[in-house]
Amino acid sequence: MSLIESALDLRTFLDELRRRGDLIDVNCEVETRLELAAITRRVYEQRLSAPLFNHLKEGLPGARVLGAPAGMLRDPAKEYARLALHFGLPEHTRPAELIMTIRAAMMATPVPPVRVAKGAVQENIWSGDDIDLTRLPVPLLHEKDGGRYIGTYGFHVVQSPDGRWDSWSIGRLMLVNGKKLTGPVIPTQHIGMIRAMWAKEGKPTPWAFVLGGPPAAVAVAGMPLPDFVSEPGYIGALLGQPLEVITAQNGTLQVPANAEIVIEGELSINDTAQEGPMGEYHGYQHNKGKMQPVFHVKAVMFRNNPILPVCVAGLPPEENHTIWGTMISAQVLDALQNAGLPVDMAWCSYEAATCWTVVSVDVAKLADEDGDARTFANRVAEVYFRSHAGYLVPKLILVGNDIDITRIEEVVWALATRAHPQHDFIAYPQIPGFPMVPYLTSEDISRGKGGNMIINCLFPEQFAGKMRATTASFAHSYPESLKTRILERWREYGFIDQ
């Protein structure tokens, strides 16, 4: 079977992981309160196979939870395999191939979804008094979380009042009770923008939330595509075929036909509830929650033995880094290249918890640029921080393309040896930035700016097409003929490893 089938359907995705030995069927009884989350946390941190919890102590009999859906693998040759399978890409896929695939679909013609009459998600339908989300296996993810989170790897579905813009976006959702949810609706995110359009008409936002949708759809729902670009059409372009959708119970919104669970209702205009705190993507657990908008649930659909996918946010690498970070990287590369800047790769190092992006500068083209490092950094800042994707990640590191920016040890080396303390750390306190960044002060958060900076790791000589020094290493310091001979004789010297 083609790997694309895994990108289109969660159960096919899980079968493929199982075939590869990258899925553990956890058949013993596990608690939804902390136990499944602690296991999943350890899985991320040790880079183990994804756990599918088949037997949960609480909740609907037969309901299951999937942990670490896009966690990293321990084998360095297949580190990105689970992430790559979200796009139907093979086990050995490297970051550059991921980014190029995601980028190429941005330049392709959108392929809108096709509506089908019936979908597996309609196997069970709750409405009215039947609705009780507490019957699903909703986990408590960290001991100090303010509630149980049903949405950590699911996406919101909303549409602009004129019907022209469909927005699918990942956002977290906490249970308030069996019929009420709450979660952040940040005004600069697309769900916040569309909610404002409905509020202007005096109406709550018709809303659905998809859990266990096609893996490619989930990944794209975590991607900051530009304003007014509909995610479903982009997903079709990415996969080379349309998604199958059904019309939700409310009669207007369209949701993937093969989703595991769909919750639908309204995102209120004025109702709020206490949300959080929750252990978050930057690796910290704050000790206070916040008032956030309420989502009122009007219907729930789910497959038999539904699977609830879960991201247990915290220290990298989890999906806020592997999915969000990767999708942001592709989007940032697109924005910078479209602006004519000489860059050839962008990468949100997972280790930096989606708080920095590294940008690889094509030094052969840099010599054609006018001005010095400061002028160049200012140009990059204007494009990057003002883009929907760059806005989310407050630090940008500029390095020459002799560095492989997907290798953290090379980035650290460049940071330590190339950035001058007096002129290469350039703060942009006036450019708006994402409020969730952990080092922001309360004044920064209320002003909506203050945390952005560029770190320039380009040597002044690189702006004149030269390099200050060559690299001292096996790759750079010896004649090719000698290196070849040494590698041929490696075992003869007594080394057993390659």
Ligand X SMILES: Cc1cc2nc3c(=O)[nH]c(=O)nc-3n(C[C@H](O)[C@H](O)[C@H](O)COP(=O)(O)O)c2cc1C
Contact 261, 121 (CB under 8 A): yes
For ligand X, the binding residues in 322-361 under the rule CB under 6 A are: 323-324
Q: Establish if 363 lies at the interface with ligand X (CB under 6 A).
A: no
Which lies closer to Mn ion via its Cβ, residue 225 or residue 346? 225
Tokens standing for 201? 């008409």
Smallest separation (angstroms) from ligand X to the CB of 385? 15
**Alpha carbon 285 to its chain's center:** 19
**Which lies closer to Mn ion via its Cβ, residue 320 or residue 406?**
320
Based on the shown chain and the rule CB under 6 A, indicate whether residue 295 belongs to the binding site for ligand X. Answer: no
Residue 474 CB coordination number (10 Å): 9
Q: Which among Mn ion, ligand X, none contacts residue 172 (Cβ within 5 to 8 A by kind)? A: ligand X
- Of the pair 223, 396, the CB lying nearest ligand X is at 223
Binders of ligand X: how many residues, by CB under 6 A? 21
Which C-beta is closer to ligand X: that of 181 or that of 458?
Answer: 181
Shortest Cβ 354–ligand X spacing (Å): 9
Question: Nearest-CA neighbor of 426 among 455, 447, 402, 401?
Answer: 455
463 binds ligand X (CB under 6 A): no
Minimum separation from the CB atom of position 207 to Mn ion (A): 15
Q: Residues 186-205: x/- map of binding to ligand X (CB under 6 A)?
A: x--xxx--------------
- Least separation in angstroms between residue 214's CB and Mn ion is 17
Report the distance separating Cα 370 and Cα 53, nearest Å.
Answer: 57
Residue 193 CB, nearest approach to ligand X (Å): 8
Q: Which of 91, 280, 318, 319 is catalytic?
A: 280
Q: How far is the CB of 480 from Mn ion (least distance, A)?
A: 48
Q: Which residues bind Mn ion (CB under 5 A)?
A: 167, 190, 225
Contact criterion met (CB below 8 Å) for 66 and 305: no
Rounded to 5°, the CA angle 9-12-14 comes to 110
> Buried b / exposed e across 248-262, counting CB within 10 Å, b at 16+?
bbeeebbbbbbbbbb
**Burial status of residue 376 (CB atoms within 10 A of its CB: 0-12, 13-18, 19 or more):** buried
Strand partners, 67: 310
Q: Which of 320, 387, 452, 462 forms a contact with ligand X (CB under 6 A)?
A: 320
Asked if residue 319 binds ligand X (CB under 6 A), the reply is yes
* CB within 8 Å of 284: residues ≥ 6 apart: 438
**Can residue 153 be called a binding residue for ligand X (CB under 6 A)?**
yes
Match 């009042």 to its residue by tokens: 161
Length of the chain: 498
**Residues 398/454, Cβ–Cβ less than 8 Å:** yes
Shortest separation between residue 388's beta carbon and ligand X, angstroms: 6
Q: In what order do the strands lie in the sheet with 254-256?
A: 114-115, 244-247, 254-256
Residue 223 lies near ligand X (rule: CB under 6 A)? yes
Here the tokens at position 478 are 């010896």
Among 146, 222, 265, 342, binds ligand X (CB under 6 A): 222
Q: How many CA atoms lie within 13 A of 306 on its CB side?
A: 31
280 is catalytic: yes
Chain mean position to CA 301: 25
Q: Which parts of 75-134 interact with ligand X (CB under 6 A)?
A: none
Query: Nearer to ligand X by C-beta: 81 or 457?
Result: 81
Q: Give the x-and-dash track for 367-406 against ligand X (CB under 6 A).
A: ---------------------x---x--------------
Q: What is the rounded radius of gyration, in angstroms, for the C-alpha atoms of the chain?
A: 23
Closest to 220 in 3D by CA, of 70, 117, 96: 70
Q: Which of 51, 88, 184, 309 binds ligand X (CB under 6 A)?
A: 184
Q: Which residue lies nearer to ligand X by CB, 22 or 166? A: 166
Q: Which does 262 bind (CB under 5 to 8 A by kind): ligand X, Mn ion, none?
A: none
Contact stretch for ligand X (CB under 6 A) within 56-64, 162-170, 395-403, 486-494: 162-170
Q: How many angstroms separate the Cα of 394 from the Cα of each of 65, 381, 451, 453? A: 33, 10, 6, 6
Active site residues: 280
Contact footprint for ligand X (CB under 6 A)? 153, 167, 169-172, 184, 186, 189-191, 222-224, 311, 319-320, 323-324, 388, 392
